[in-house]
């Protein structure tokens, strides 16, 4: 499966997420999404952002921008999936999230400096 611009991964943005990314040269926004429903005064018009940043010394930062990213990776025995009251929750393991994570880690390994 190839993820394309405009594709969505449902039930992935939890109650903690990245909002406006820092303006750092080289930082790349790799995912963005409106947050709905957001009816509170402090949360109007907010968007989620996932970012990748290649650091000056060759190391990398990947921030999925959501506390629920790990929910898409695995469901070990005894794990209780995240929920927000009676409203929302994750859908559990997601092959797209697993593939994105694998691709990011493989790219970091490939491009990171060796001692």
pLDDT at 41: 63
Question: What b/e string do you get for 16-50 counting C-beta neighbours within 10 Å, with b at 16 or more?
Answer: ebbeebeeeeebeebbebeeeeeeeeeeeeebbbb
Q: How many residues does the chain have?
A: 115
For 42-66, the pLDDT digits (tens) are 566 677 888 999 888 888 899 998 8
Is pLDDT at 98 greater than 90 in this prediction? Answer: yes
Is pLDDT at 22 greater than 70 in this prediction? Answer: yes
For 33-44, the pLDDT digits (tens) are 877 655 666 566
pTM, full prediction: 0.79
Kindly report each contact of residues 86-90 with a partner whose C-beta sits within 8 Å and lies 24 or more positions away, as own/partner: 88/11, 89/11, 90/11, 90/12, 90/14
């Amino acid at each position: 499966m190839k993820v394309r611009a405009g594709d969505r991964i449902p039930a992935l943005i939890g109650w903690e997420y990245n909002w406006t990314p820092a303006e750092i040269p080289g930082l790349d926004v790799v995912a963005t999404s409106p947050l709905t429903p957001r009816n509170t005064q402090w949360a109007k018009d907010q968007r989620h952002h996932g970012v990748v940043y290649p650091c000056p010394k060759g190391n990398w930062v990947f921030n999925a921008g959501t506390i629920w990213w790990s929910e898409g990776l695995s469901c070990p025995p005894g794990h209780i999936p995240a929920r927000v009251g009676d409203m929302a929750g994750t859908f559990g393991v997601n092959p797209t999230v697993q593939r994105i994570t694998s691709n990011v880690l493989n790219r970091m390994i490939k491009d990171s400096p060796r001692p």
